[in-house]
Amino acid sequence: MSTPVIQVKDLKTYFQTPKGVAKAVDGVSFEIPKGGTFALVGESGCGKSVTALSLIQLVPEPAGYIAGGEILLNGRDIAGLTEREKRAIRGNKISMIFQEPMTSLNPVFTIGDQIMETIRLHQRKTSAEARTLAMEMFGKVGLPNPESLINEYPHRLSGGMRQRVMIAIALSCKPDLLIADEPTTALDVTIQDQIIELIREVKESTGTAILLITHNLALVYRNAGTVGVMYAGKIVELTATKNLFRNPMHPYTVKLLRSIPGGEKRGKALDTISGTVPPATSYPAGCHFSGRCPREMEGCASVYPELTERAAGHTVACHLHDPEFMAGGNSKPLRHEPDALPPLTAPYAEREVLLDVRALKTHYPVRKGLFKKITGFVKAVDGIDLTVRKGATLALVGESGCGKTTAGKSIIQLIRPTAGEILFKGSDLARMDERTIKPFRSLIQIIFQDPYSSLNPRLMIKDTIEEGIKVLKPGLGKAERERKITEVLDRVGLTPDMMYRYPHEFSGGQRQRIGIARALAVDPEFIVCDEAVSALDVSVQAQILNLLKSIQRDFGLSFLFITHDLSVVEYIADEVAVMYDGKIVERNSTVEIFSNPVHDYTKKLLAAIPKIDEELVKLWKLPGK
C-alpha cells in the first residue's frame, strides 16, 4: 500500500486566550489515501475548521499555535517548515475552498487574473501558458465560454459560478489534497448538488484526496469514503461511511444523525442534544461529551475513553463499547434517556382559513439618471396566492432571489406591496395605514434567520422583549410586563434571570429562542418564520424545530415557513408552495408534493436534496442496554 497523501498524527492546535489555553484541536489523527474523501463532521465549535487551517498551516498566529503532533504530506512532516516552504505548499500541494463564494474572490480583479496569479506563483509558466491553463480549468469545472469569462469580474457571476471559479483556482496546481470547508452551505440546493457532483468528478479524474468539512450529514453519506465525527477537539468516532450510517456507535453520532429533520420523522419530536459544546478552555477531564450524553455513566466524566477499534474498521471513543469498563464499578448509568421519541403533533381540528393572500405583487422601481426617473420595475413578487389555515404550517420554498423573503415581509407589511389583497381574518392588511393596522401587529409576527443580527446588541433581553409589549399592549403595567417576559422566556426554554443579560452572552440557538420569545410576547396568531432555522447547527436546528412545533400545538399558531431547506419542510410543513422567479409554480400538501411533484422546477428541487436512505434511519439506536 502506498503512503497516504496526508497523515495527521495526534495533532494539537491550541489558542492562547485571556481565559486560558483553548484546546481547539486536541489530539486528532486521521489519514487520507490518494483519491480518497475524508469527511469531518460535528457541531460548530468542535474544531473542524481549525483542523483544516492547521493542515494548510494558516492557524492565526500568534494566538494560535500547533502544540503537538505531526502533519505528514506524502510522508514529509510539514509542521516545522519555514514560512517560505509553507507558502510553496499552500495552494500548490494543498489547496482550500471556502464556504462563502461571495467574499472569497477579490472584487477588483478579473477571475482570470486571480486564477493566473495562483498558477504563475507555483508553476513556471509564461502568462500565455497560464492563460491557456486557466481556460482549460474553467472548462473542466463546467463554466461556459471560458474565453469571455476569463475577463469577467466576480460580481458578474452567480454564487454557484463563483464557487466553480474557486474550485478551478484550487485545482489549477493539481494539488494532492483539496480541503473543502463547508463548500455548499452558502449555496442553493440545486447548485449544491452540482458543486458536489463537480468535486466528485474532479476527484475521480485527478486522484486528488479530499478533506470535506461539513455539518450536513446527508452530504457526507453521499460523498465521503471515511468519516471522522469530531466533538470538542477530538475525533470520537472514525470509520467507513457505510459503517457509520449503518451502525453509529458513539451516542453523539447517534444523536447527531437523529436530529436531521425529514419526512419520516413527521409528527414526532426530533432528537436533540441538551446543552452546548463546552468551551475549548474547559473540557471535562474524562469524556468530553459527558454532561450532555444521554447514556452517561458514573466514570464518564473522570476517565477518558481512548479511541479504540471496537468493530472491524470502526474506531470509537466511548466507554459503552469497552467491555472492561462496563464490567467495572464505574458503569452505573447516571441517566438513561429512552430510545423512542415522544410524538409531537399539532391538533389539526380547526381548518378555517386565517390568512388569504390574493394576487400579491411587490415591485421595486428601478430609478436612473439625475432626476431618478423610474425606468423599470424589479418584480420581486409577481402575483402570488397563498392560504394559511389556523394551526397549520405553510412552507414557502424556493432558491435565493426568488422573492420568498419579500413575499413574507409584504404579508406582514414590513414592505408595502404594490397590488393584491392580504386578507387576515377577513380584513385586508394591504389597504390599512400605520394606525389602522396597529391592532393586527400583535397578531402577526416574524422570526428571522440570523440570530446574530436579530437582536440589538446594546439592549438587554428584557428591553428587547418588552419593546413589543409596551407598544402593542399599552394597558399592561410594569409588573405585568415583567411577568409576561418571564412567562415567554420560560416557554422557549430559557430561565427568567437571563432577561438581564445582553445578546452577546448567548449562543446562536439561545438567541433564536429569544427571537421566538420576542414574537410570542405579544400573543400572535400567525408567525412568519423567515429561514428561522437555516443558520443553525443541525442539533440546535432540531431543538428550535421542536420548540416551534410545540408552541404551535399549545397556542394554535399558524406559521408561514420561508426556507430553502426541503428536509425541514418535509418535517414541519402541512402544505408547501414552491416559488420561482416571483411566482408560485406549485401548491399542494406536503405529502403530495414530495411523493408526486408536478412542476419541473419542483422535481428538480426535490432531486437535488441529498438524502439518506430511509431504512438506515430506523437503525439509529443509542448504544448500551
Partner 1 sequence: MPVILATDLIVYFLVAMIVYFIIGAGKEGTVKTAWSELRKNRLAMVSMVFLAVYVMTAVMDCVRWRDPVLMTSGEASRSTDGGVIYSPQALSLLDRAASKMRLNAEKTYSAPFSDHLFTKEPVELPDGRVVRDYPKLKFPGTHWLGTDKVGNDVFFIALKGVRTGIVIGAGTTIIIIPFAIFFGVVAGFHGGFIDDIVQYVYTTLSSIPGVLLIVAFMLLFGNSGYQGGLLSQKEVFLRIFVPNDRLFWLCLILGITSWTDLCRLIRGETLKLRELEYVQASKAFGVSSPGIIYRHIVPNLMHLVLITFVLQFSGLVLAEAVLSYIGIGVGPEMGSWGNMINTARLELSREPVVWWNLFGSFLFMFALVLPANIFGDAVRDALDPRLRYR
Closest to partner 1 by CB, 268 or 481: 481
Listed residue (195, 189, 193) closest to 165, CA to CA: 195
Q: Are 22 and 14 in contact (CB under 8 A)?
A: yes
Among 450, 482, 523, 581, binds partner 1 (CB under 8 A): 450
Q: Are 239 and 315 in contact (CB under 8 A)?
A: yes
Binding mask 18-57 toward partner 1 (x if CB under 8 A, else -) reads x---------------------------------------
Among 347, 457, 474, 477, binds partner 1 (CB under 8 A): 457
Please provide the size of the chain in residues.
625
Closest to partner 1 by CB, 136 or 505: 505
CA dihedral (267, 268, 273, 274) positive or negative: positive
Among 270, 472, 544, 622, binds partner 1 (CB under 8 A): 472
Contact between 467 and partner 1 by CB under 8 A: the answer reads yes
Among 174, 335, 336, 438, binds partner 1 (CB under 8 A): 438
- Using alpha carbons only, give the angle 552, 341, 256 rounded to the nearest 5 degrees: 95
- Which span sits near partner 1 by CB under 8 A: 241-249, 319-327, 440-448, 614-622? 440-448
Contact between 314 and partner 1 by CB under 8 A: the answer reads no
Three-class HEC string of 254-268: HHHHHCCCCHHHCCE
Among 40, 169, 346, 444, binds partner 1 (CB under 8 A): 444
Among 449, 539, 567, 602, binds partner 1 (CB under 8 A): 449
| Beta carbons within 8 Å of 121's beta carbon, 6+ residues apart | 91, 92
Among 21, 285, 366, 471, binds partner 1 (CB under 8 A): 471
Among 67, 102, 240, 459, binds partner 1 (CB under 8 A): 459
- Least CB distance to partner 1 at residue 399 (A): 21
Among 219, 455, 538, 622, binds partner 1 (CB under 8 A): 455
Contact between 502 and partner 1 by CB under 8 A: the answer reads yes
Among 155, 416, 478, 504, binds partner 1 (CB under 8 A): 504
587 vs 577: CA distance, rounded Å: 4
- Least CB distance to partner 1 at residue 482 (A): 16
Number of residues this chain uses to bind partner 1 (CB under 8 A) = 37
Listed residue (566, 513, 508) closest to 44, CA to CA: 508
11 vs 9: CA distance, rounded Å: 5
Among 220, 402, 446, 544, binds partner 1 (CB under 8 A): 446
Residues 374-433 that bind partner 1 (CB under 8 A): 409, 412, 414
Distance from the first to the final alpha carbon of the chain: 40
What are the Cα distances from residue 40, in Å, to 49, 230, 558?
9, 7, 38
- Using alpha carbons only, give the angle 48, 52, 57 rounded to the nearest 5 degrees: 140
Closest to partner 1 by CB, 195 or 492: 492
Residues 515-534 that bind partner 1 (CB under 8 A): 515, 518-519, 522
Our CA dihedral for 81, 83, 85, 86, rounded to 10 degrees, sits at: 80
- Least CB distance to partner 1 at residue 504 (A): 4
Cell of 390: 389556523
* SS3 label, residue 232: coil
| Beta carbons within 8 Å of 506's beta carbon, 6+ residues apart | 498, 514
Q: Are 12 and 69 in contact (CB under 8 A)?
A: yes
Contact between 436 and partner 1 by CB under 8 A: the answer reads no
Closest to partner 1 by CB, 245 or 440: 440
Contact between 145 and partner 1 by CB under 8 A: the answer reads no
**β pairing state of 64-73 and 6-17:** antiparallel
Contact between 454 and partner 1 by CB under 8 A: the answer reads yes
Written as one letter, the residue type at 225 is G
CB atoms within 10 A of CB 317: 25
Closest to partner 1 by CB, 86 or 441: 441
Contact between 221 and partner 1 by CB under 8 A: the answer reads no
121 vs 77: CA distance, rounded Å: 23
Closest to partner 1 by CB, 95 or 442: 442
- Binding site residues, partner 1, CB under 8 A: 18, 372, 409, 412, 414, 434, 437-438, 441-442, 444-446, 448-450, 453-460, 463-464, 467-468, 471-472, 502, 504-505, 515, 518-519, 522
